Amino acid sequence: MASRRPSDQRGVTLTELMVAMMAAFFIVVALGKIVTINQRSFSASQGKSEIQQTGSRILDQMARSVRQAHAITVNGATSFTTLDRDGNVMDTYSWTGPSGRRIQRDAVTMSPDECTFFWVTTDPDTVSVTIEFVLNDADGSSARVLSHVAKRLGPGSAPGSTPDPADGGGAAGSSSGEDDDDWFGDDDDDDHDGHDDDDDDDDDDDDGHGRRRRGGGRR
């Protein structure tokens, strides 16, 4: 009977196979998590970019209305109205809604994204408006927008408008009128002084004649 020679080849044991399978499983899970995280990060970045663009678009429309307005009326801290030269309403922006408030322009929703904060204020002369709001989309992305916008047109006869001294209206015109009155008053004083000087000159002439007459008498 022929004897068998021991083989140099060695097979894979069940334990080694299970370890290899577990290692491959963990590698696949890790790769899957990396892909998922990257997708979520990309989606969040895209959502952030989109809501920022939405906020910029809304702010651009508000800023355009403010710059073109002749007067601005603030109705509390959540609404303001722009007026033209004739006092007619151009646009009304408001933060309203029973639930999930939205920003509206003339009662029309400007964006489906929820606005969780809206605040508007003006300077004492109502020549500029500070606008701030926060938008949130359905995916949880949010964008905060803040801007200080000054109107370009000067004030006039529009109702509710406040004169701007820098534009030469209102108080500035009154001040100029007072300065003009003072200026004319100074001219009158100068004229009186001029007449007094003429009288003094006449007196000097009389005195001169008098001295000449007295001199003639002595002769």
pLDDT tens digits in sequence order for the chain, 219 residues long: 455 555 556 778 889 899 999 999 999 999 999 999 998 888 888 888 899 999 999 999 999 999 988 888 888 888 999 988 888 888 999 998 766 689 999 989 998 899 988 988 887 777 788 999 999 888 788 889 988 888 776 544 333 333 343 333 333 332 233 333 333 333 444 444 444 444 444 444 444 444 444 444 444
pLDDT, position 9:
60
Q: What does the domain layout of the chain look like in residue ranges? A: 50-174
Q: Are 68 and 54 in contact (CB under 8 A)?
A: no
Give the Å distances, CA to CA, from 195 to 86, 133, 181, 189, 205. Answer: 52, 70, 21, 10, 15
Q: Are 109 and 103 in contact (CB under 8 A)?
A: yes
Is the pTM value of this prediction over 0.85?
A: no
Separation of alpha carbons 14 and 17, rounded Å: 5
Separation of alpha carbons 184 and 178, rounded Å: 10
Separation of alpha carbons 61 and 53, rounded Å: 12
Candidates 25, 54, 61, 28; CA nearest to 143 is 54
Q: Are 146 and 154 in contact (CB under 8 A)?
A: no
- 3-class secondary structure, 75: coil
What's at 99, amino acid-wise?
S
Candidates 114, 72, 71; CA nearest to 95 is 114
- 3-class secondary structure, 130: strand
| Own/partner long-range contacts of 138-143 (Cβ < 8 Å, ≥24 apart) | 139/43, 139/44, 139/47, 140/47, 141/44, 141/47, 141/48, 141/50, 141/51, 142/51, 142/116, 143/48, 143/51, 143/52, 143/54, 143/55
pLDDT, position 31:
95
pLDDT, position 62:
92
